[in-house]
Chains A and B, each alone.
Chain A
Amino acid sequence: MAKRPSLFLWNRAQALAEPLPPLHLRAERVAAALSPGRHGRRRSGPGDDFWQFRPYQPGEPVQSMDWRQSAKSDGLFLREKEWAASQTVWLWADSSPSMIWRSRPDLPEKLEQARLLALALAALLLRGGERVGALGLDRTSSALPRLQEDLEAAPAALPALLPPQSEAVLISDFLFPLDALKARLTAAPVRGHLLHLLDPAEEALPYQGRLRLAGLEGEGEMLLPRAEDYREAYAARLAEHRAALGRIAAQAGWSLTSASTIQPPETVLAALFPKLEGRC
C-alpha cells in the first residue's frame, strides 16, 4: 500500500506555508552554527543586536569603533554585536510500515501527510532564517526540493542519539513501544516537538461486523467477532497511549500535538506554529 511520494510534495508544502508568517523558533540552545540567524548567542560575534562596548585594542579595524560612546568617556570603545546564529531544526517523518496506510481512499496516507507537514514547517523555518535538515542525515539544506529528497532518503528508524544544541520535530503515529522513544528523548539535551498523527479509523475504530484485523508491522492477526463491541475498549486504550505519550513528552520538556489525517494540513500547521514559536 506504499505510494510513491509525489515529486511535487514540496510545491504543495510551499503553498501551504505561504499564508503563514515566517517561523522563528524560540531557541534555547542554539548550536554553534556560523550561519547567520536570529538567535542571540550571548556572546559577541556577528549579528545585529548590541552586545557590549569594550575598549579598543590597537590592531582592530577602525570602522568598528563606536565614536559616540568614545566621545562620552575617555578612551576608545568599540561596539560589539551579539552573535546571532540560526537554529537548526531536525525534522523526522516516521516511515515505518504502519505509517504507509490509510483507511479510506479519499484520505492521504499518514506518511504523506507527515512529510507534507514537515516540508511546510521547513518552508516556514527557512523563511524565518533557521536551518532545516532531515533527522538521520547530517546535513541541512535551504532548498525545499532538496529537503524533500532528504526526508525520503533518511533512515526510517529513529536515530539513537539526537544531535545536541538543536531542535527536533518528530511526526509519527507513535504506534510502537514507547520505551525507545522515552530513552531517546531523555538522553539528548534537545528540545523538540512531537506531532502524533493518526488516521481517523485508528482513532474511532468505525468497523462493523466480523473482522479479521492484521497488523502491518508483524503484530499478527486478531479476529473480532463483532467489531462494534470493541470500540469502547479500544478508545480507552488509545487514550491511555496518548496519555503515556504526553507524560514522556512532558518529562523531556517536549511538546505534543495530536492531529488526524482527516484534518486539513493548514489546521495542523496552525496548531504547531505557536508551539514552535514558544508562545504557548
Chain B
Amino acid sequence: MLSFAAPWLLLTAAALPLLWWLLRILPPAPRRQDFPALRLLLGLTASAPSPARSPLWLVLLRLTLAAALIAAAAHPLWNAAPPLAEGPLLLVVDDGWAAAHSWPQTRDELLRLLDQAERKGRPTRLLTTAVKPELRNGGARAWAETLEPKPWPSDRATAAHLLEGSPAAQVVWLSDGMEDGGSQTLLDGLRKLGPVRVLAPPTSPLLLAPPRPELAELTPVLRRSSNLPSRTLVVRAADAMGRTLARQEVRFEDGDDQKDAPLSMPAELRNRVARIEIEGENSAAATVLLDARWQRHPVGLAEAAPATSPLLDDLYYIERALPQAELRRGKLGDLLQRPLSLLVLPDGAAPPEDAALRRWIEQGGLLLRLAGPKLAAKPDGLLPVALRNGGRSLGGAMSWTQPQSLGPMPDSGPFAGLIVPPDLKVKSQLLAEPSLGLADKTWARLEDGTPLVTAQRLGKGWLVLLHTTVWPSWSDLGLSGLFPQMLDRLLALSQGLGGGSKDEHPLPPWRLMDGFGHLSQQTGLAEPLPVGPIPPPGPGHPPGLYGTPESSRAVNLAPQLEVPEPMSLPAETLGQKQVPEHDLQPPLLLLALALFLMDMAALWGLKRAGMALALGLALALAILLPPTAGQAAAPLLETRLAWVKTGDPAIDGLSRQGLTSLSALVGRRSNAQLAAPTGVDVERDDLAFYPLLYWPVPDKPFPLSALAQERVNDYLRHGGMILFDSRDGGQGPSDSLRLLTQGLEIPPLTPLPPDHVLTRSFYLLKDCPGRLAGGAVYVQQGGEAGHDDVSPVIIGGHDWAGAWAQDSSGAYRYPAVPGGETQREMALRFGVNLVIYALTGSYKADQLHLPAILERLKP
C-alpha cells in the first residue's frame, strides 16, 4: 500500500506537461565544430528557419528525472503504518498480570508507537494501570524499555483519577483485553482527552490454580474465560532447579472454561515438585509455587539399638510396607528437626519423656509406637491407654488359647473398610487396662475384642500404639498385606505439617515472582507476610516464596484472582502480522541521480542514448556498492569465533575478552589461526560465517523472535555449533536456558560421556571446568551421520568466558573456583578442545590418541 508522507508536493506534478512543452521547445545545446570555410558562411541566413527540437529520448529522460524528484520530495512509503495525527500523545499500558502472556507483542507495539511519536516530535506521556498506576511525562521511551508486567491486577479506576487535569491528547490504549471493573471509568476519562484507540491481544490469559495438597496426584486446575475457542496447552511440573518432572497435555474444547491437569509422576518425584506452570504462557497467574504443604507425608523412623539382623528389625518391615512414602531414619532428636507427619517409634527407642516429642504430637504429628518386650517390661507415660503389666501370649506352649486373628475393623476408626485376612494370627500382645473410653480409642481389635491398635488424640496430633510387634515374633501383622494398608491410612490421617518451625510471626519475602512467573531475589517494595489471611496481591505482597530457605511458604497469585472476562470494548487486535514499512524516497532519489548523470553524459555529446544510460547506471552503482560489499567480505576472509550479544554490557564484555584470549591461545598452541572474535546479534546478523558461537545465558532472557529462531535453527542444521553457557554452575538446564531456547531445534541431550571426542580432540581431558566446576556438560545424544557425529549444541554452566577472559594487561580477570590455576589451565584446554572440535569435527575420534590412552590406563 503506497502512501505519501508529504502528499501536497505531488501537486507540483501538474507542472510536468509544461515541462514537457518547454523541453521540446527549447533547443538543445549546440555542438561545437571547427570549420575552415567559415568565411563563406558568415552573413548567411537560414533558407527555411524552423525550430530546433530536442530529441525525444532526451525530453523523456528529463521528464522522468523531474517526476522522480517530485515523487521523492513527496516521501512515498510502502506499507506505511497508519500515521498518527499531530499533537501530544498519551499511551496507556496495562501492565497487570493479565498482560504478561502477550507482553512481547505489547512491548513491540509500545516501542514502535514511541518511535513514531519521536520521529514526529510529539510529546508523549505514558500511563501504566497496574496497582499503583504511574503517569510519566518525560523520558517515556527509556521508561518504556524497562516496563514489565506486574504480578498483581490492574487498577484502572485509580489510573483514571490520575488523568484528571490532563491536557487533551490523542490516546492509544494497549490493553490486556480483560475486564477488571474499572475499564469503563478509564475509557470515559480517556475519551475526554481525545480520540481513543484501543488495542488488545488476540489471546486471553489463563489461570492455573494450585492442586489440593491432600490428593495423591497433583492436579492443578486451569481456568480461562468462557466462550473461547478450543486450545491445547501443556502443563509442566518442575523442581527447584528447573528440571522438568512431569508434563501433561490439556485440551480445552470450544467454550470450556475449566480443566484439570492431573500430573502423574512417580511418588519419589512428587515431593520434589516446586513449581507448576503452563508452558508458553509466561505469566505469574499461570505459575504455581509449591511449598512444604504439598509434600507427601514424610515418615520418620526413630532408630533404636541396631538389630542383629534386619529381619528382626521392626523398621525393616515398616520400610517395606511404605515404599512410596518419604522415609527418614535417624535419631529422634534429628527427626524432629524437620517436618514429619508420621513418626514411628519402635520398641525401646528413645526416652519417651521428650518434651519436643510431645509438642510435636500436639501440633499435629502422629506418633506410632510399636510394642515389644521392652515396652511390655516397662511401660512409660506416653501411651494412649494404660497397659496392664505383662502381655498376653496366645497359643504358646503354656497357654490354653490359640493365636487369634483380627476382628472386623470398627467403622469409627481410620481403618474402616479394610478387609482382614483370615489367616493373620496374633500370638502375643500388650493388654490394655479396661477403662471407660477404651472402646473409643480402639482402632483395631482382635476377635475377642481386645484392642490391637489404640490411639489417643493429643492436641492436634495422635498418639497411636500398636499392641504387637511388627516383626514376626509376636504376630504375622508385619508379614501380611493388611499392614501396608493400615499404614497408608495412618499416613493419610496425618496431615503434612511443619515440625517445630510453624511460625507465628510474619514471614519475610525470600524469592518473589515477577509478572512472568520468574523467581528472583529482588524484593522491591514487598512487605513481610502477616500472620493470618493472605492480603490481596499488590506491590507490597507480590506472589512468591516467603520465609526462610529451609521452610518457605508459597503465595500464589491465581487463588486470589477471579477468572477474568474479556473487556466489552471495541478493540483492535494487537500484534497483527507486521508488514515492514519501506521508505521509497532513497530509491527514487537514486533514480533521479542516475538520470541526471545520464543527462550530463548526453550533454557532453554522446549521441547514443544507450551509452549515456550505461554510463549513468555505472556511476550510480559505483557510488552505492563499495561500502556494502566491503562489509560482507570481512568475516568471510578469516576464521573467527563469535559470541551472541545479550544486551548486558558486562556479559558482552566478558564474552569478548574470553573469546579474544581463547583465539590467541588456540593460535599459540595449535595450527588454527583465528582472527579477532565478533559479537553477533541473532536477530540481525548472518550466522553462517562462524564455526562456533558462544552463547552466555543472560539473567533475564527473552525468548527469541521467530526470525531469530529460524536463523539459529538454520545455523544448527547446516553444521554450526553453539556453546550455551548458563554461568550458574551447571547443575542442569535452568529455566532461563529453557526460555531462551524455546523454539530451537535442540537434539536430545546426554551428559558428556567420558570417551566423547570433545575430551580428546586436542588435549585429553577428564572434565570440562570453566570458572566454576562440578556441574554437568551436555552434548547431543548419539550423533547424526550427516553432521559427522558432531554435536551441534554443547550446554553447560561453568562460565567458561569467565575463566578465559584476560584484561588489557594480560592478567586473568576472575579466579577459577575451586581448583585455582590448575582448573584454569583445564578450562583453557577445554577451550582449545572446543575450537578444534568445531573446526575439525570428529575425526579425532579415531585411534590417534589410543596409545596414549592405553598408556594412561595402565595401572
What residues make up the interface of A, taking CB atoms closer than 8 Å to B? Answer: 1, 97-99, 101, 173, 175-176, 198-199, 201-202, 207, 209-217, 219-226, 229-234, 237-238, 241
Contacts and interface: CB of A to CB of B under 8 A. Distances in A.
A55 to B, nearest CB: 65
B38 interface: yes
B587 interface: no
A224 B27 CA distance: 12
The 3 A-B pairs at the shortest CB distance, nearest first, are namely: A98-B36, A215-B38, A229-B46
Given A99-B36, A215-B35, A234-B41, 10 more contacts: A202-B35, A207-B33, A213-B35, A213-B41, A219-B42, A224-B30, A224-B46, A226-B49, A229-B50, A237-B40
Contact of A211 (B31, B37, B42, B45): B31
B39 A215 contact: yes
Contacts of B39: 175-176, 215, 219
Interface string B14-46: 000000000000011111111111111110111
B44 A230 contact: yes
Contacts of A202: 35-37
Nearest to B38: A215
Nearest to A213: B35
Given A226-B50, A226-B52, A234-B44, A216 B36 contact: yes
A225 B52 contact: yes
A101 B37 CA distance: 11
B30 A238 contact: no
Contacts of A213: 33-35, 38, 41
A113 B39 CA distance: 22
Given A234-B44, A237-B41, A210 B36 contact: no
Given A222-B41, A225-B27, A237-B44, A214 B49 contact: no
Interface residue SS majority, chain B: loop
A97 B52 CA distance: 31
B652 to A, nearest CB: 66
A25 to B, nearest CB: 31
A216 to B, nearest CB: 5
Contact of A225 (B32, B38, B46): B46
Contacts of A199: 36
Given A202-B37, A216-B36, A209 B31 contact: yes
A3 to B, nearest CB: 14
A235 to B, nearest CB: 10
Interface residues of B, number: 25
B47 interface: yes
A201 to B, nearest CB: 8
A173 B37 CA distance: 9
A210 B35 contact: no
B525 interface: no
B48 interface: yes
B34 A214 contact: yes
A229 B41 CA distance: 12
A233 B45 contact: yes
22 contacts: A97-B36, A101-B36, A176-B39, A198-B37, A199-B36, A209-B28, A210-B29, A211-B32, A213-B38, A213-B41, A214-B34, A214-B35, A214-B38, A215-B34, A215-B38, A221-B38, A223-B30, A224-B30, A224-B41, A225-B51, A230-B46, A233-B47
Contact of A212 (B33, B45, B50): B33
Contacts, number: 105
Scoring B29, B36, B44 by chain A CB atoms within 10 A of each residue's CB, the highest score goes to: B36
Contacts of A216: 34-36, 38
Nearest to B29: A210
A175 B40 contact: yes
A211 to B, nearest CB: 5
A223 B30 CA distance: 8
Nearest to A210: B30
A118 to B, nearest CB: 19
A221 B34 CA distance: 9
Contacts of B49: 225-226, 229
A97 B35 CA distance: 11
Contacts of A225: 27, 46, 49, 51-52
Contact of A210 (B31, B42, B45, B48): B31
Contacts of B44: 230, 233-234, 237
B207 to A, nearest CB: 85
Contacts of A175: 36-37, 39-40
B37 A209 contact: no
Contact of A222 (B28, B42, B52): B42
B65 to A, nearest CB: 21
Contacts of A207: 33
Interface string B33-75: 1111111111011111111100000000000000000000000
Contacts of B32: 211-212, 214
A1 B31 CA distance: 18
Contacts of B28: 209-210
Contact of B48 (A173, A176, A198, A229): A229
Contacts of A221: 38
B43 to A, nearest CB: 9
Contact of A217 (B36, B41, B50): B36
Nearest to A99: B36
Contacts of B48: 229
B602 to A, nearest CB: 13
B77 to A, nearest CB: 43
Contacts of B52: 209-210, 225-226
Contacts of B31: 209-212
Given A222-B42, A225-B27, A232 B47 contact: yes
Nearest to A236: B44
Nearest to A234: B41
B411 to A, nearest CB: 124
A211 B52 CA distance: 11
A211 B33 contact: yes
A211 B30 contact: yes
Nearest to B36: A98
A229 B48 CA distance: 6
Among A207, A210, A223, residue most surrounded by chain B Cβ atoms (within 10 Å): A210
Contact of B40 (A101, A210, A212, A241): A241
A253 B748 CA distance: 117
